Chains A and B, each alone.
Chain A
Amino acid sequence: AQKVTQAQTEISVVEKEDVTLDCVYETRDTTYYLFWYKQPPSGELVFLIRRNSFDEQNEISGRYSWNFQKSTSSFNFTITASQVVDSAVYFCALSGGNDKLIFGTGTRLQVFP
């Protein structure tokens, strides 16, 4: 069975703090893809990153970085120097043997000024 676990339900930080959102996945597929989406208060899901199972290189995009470790089945997301605009619900998702996305339950991030 495919599953995505985001154990952190809610995280609160003060602006400029670094924060890491955890994601653990389960799949029997050898080829799979991992995603992160952001859902701001407006409700629309915004794509952040896609990673395939053969590429374990970490990725950095501005203040965002992702750490993919197959050995621990984790795909963690770090925001450096958080800002109030980062406040949202963040979802980790898995695409395995078919075309659908399997989402975790999300982590609500609140960044206070």
Chain B
Amino acid sequence: DTGVSQDPRHKITKRGQNVTFRCDPISEHNRLYWYRQTLGQGPEFLTYFQNEAQLEKSRLLSDRFSAERPKGSFSTLEIQRTEQGDSAMYLCASSLGPGRAAEQFFGPGTRLTVL
């Protein structure tokens, strides 16, 4: 399968713990995006990368969140000191980019539950 993959698919953690998610984009795609989706809502943009450069971060991305794409391939999203409000589906997407017209292909998401 050559689509976007995310790991893990599900994560349950206790409040205050740190969690890290991984996203592997489609191999030739140089743009990678992170979105967050809460129940009954559409996905909300968090951040995106052009190769290894992080080009934009949403105000939703508090200081507890950090994302990296060290070699321009896979990306990680870390949440420190998790809170119950962080419970959501975290979606990764990739595109050939640049450009607003580029179709974003989404992964299956990582569902985070913070107890």
Contact = CB atoms under 8 A, between A and B. Distances in A.
Interface string B48-71: 100000011010000000000000
B109 A99 contact: no
Interface residues of A, number: 26
Could you say which interface size class chain B belongs to?
20 to 34
A33 B109 contact: no
Contacts, number: 66
Contact of B91 (A42, A45, A96, A106): A45
B41 interface: yes
Interface string A77-105: 00000000000000101011011111111
Given A99-B56, A100-B45, A102-B45, A42 B108 contact: yes
A28 to B, nearest CB: 14
Interface of B: 31, 33, 35, 40-45, 48, 55-56, 58, 89, 91, 93, 97-109, 111
